[in-house]
Amino acid sequence: MNEFLTVFVLHLFAVMSPGPDFVLITRQSIRHGRIAALWTAGGIGFGILFHSFLAVTGILFLLASDEFYLLILKLICSSYLLYLGIGSIFRPSNFNIQKDAVSKWSNVGGFSAGLLTNITNIKALLFFITLFGIVLNDQTRNSFIFYGFYMAIATFIWFSCVSYIFTSDIFKNKFIKFFTFFEKILGITLVIIALQIIGSEYIK
């Protein structure tokens, strides 16, 4: 019970703290609508399962000790976030937030964006290294398979709630005139996160 409580508390703080996943879900909700955002949340959830699998098998700790792998991961993550951020900043804002723009953003595209953002998320990598270092041992290895599924489902539920808030009628009716501004800010935020990831590699 104490073990699960540790997982619950640490995951709660991690998933609710702002980061690339949160910014991506917000961007998807504003730009592409609720359906695309939910598929993106599903991709993020599968990313959690991916990290859990690597941790349970011990692969995560081997990769984390490889500086070359970490460098490649940071470059992939920062490049993708830069791509999303610059796209949000300079993309024409000729969209109708009142509709789910399913035709403009495929379900597979939304899922892939969430998955790629999460599995290349340095924050997620460090979280799992810390969490598994605290609670994972030979006795709890099987339990962590359950914890992996729990965190994946909880993550999906959390980001689904976030998408529902940003695509709700109340939010849209009050803030629709600011959506273009919001998207630019989200784009700038993604670029800043990407530059921080790059900077962390070269400024030591």
Q: Is 33 left (phi over 0), alpha (psi -120 to 50) or beta?
A: left
Q: How far apart are CA 6 and CA 10, in angstroms?
A: 6
Report residues of the chain scoring pLDDT below 50.
96-103
* pLDDT for residue 94: 53
* pLDDT for residue 106: 66
Domain ranges in the chain? 2-73+92-177
Q: How far apart are CA 204 and CA 197, in angstroms?
A: 12
For the CA atoms of 162, 178, 94, 114, what is the dihedral angle to 10 degrees?
Answer: -20
3-state helix/strand/coil string of the chain:
CHHHHHHHHHHHHHHHCCCHHHHHHHHHHHHHCHHHHHHHHHHHHHHHHHHHHHHHHCHHHHHHCCHHHHHHHHHHHHHHHHHHHHHHHHCCCCCCCCCCCCCCCCHHHHHHHHHHHHHCCHHHHHHHHHHHHHHCCCCCHHHHHHHHHHHHHHHHHHHHHHHHHHCCHHHHHHHHHHHHHHHHHHHHHHHHHHHHHHHHHHCC
Judge contact between 47 and 118, C-beta under 8 A.
yes
* pLDDT for residue 40: 94
pTM, entire model: 0.77
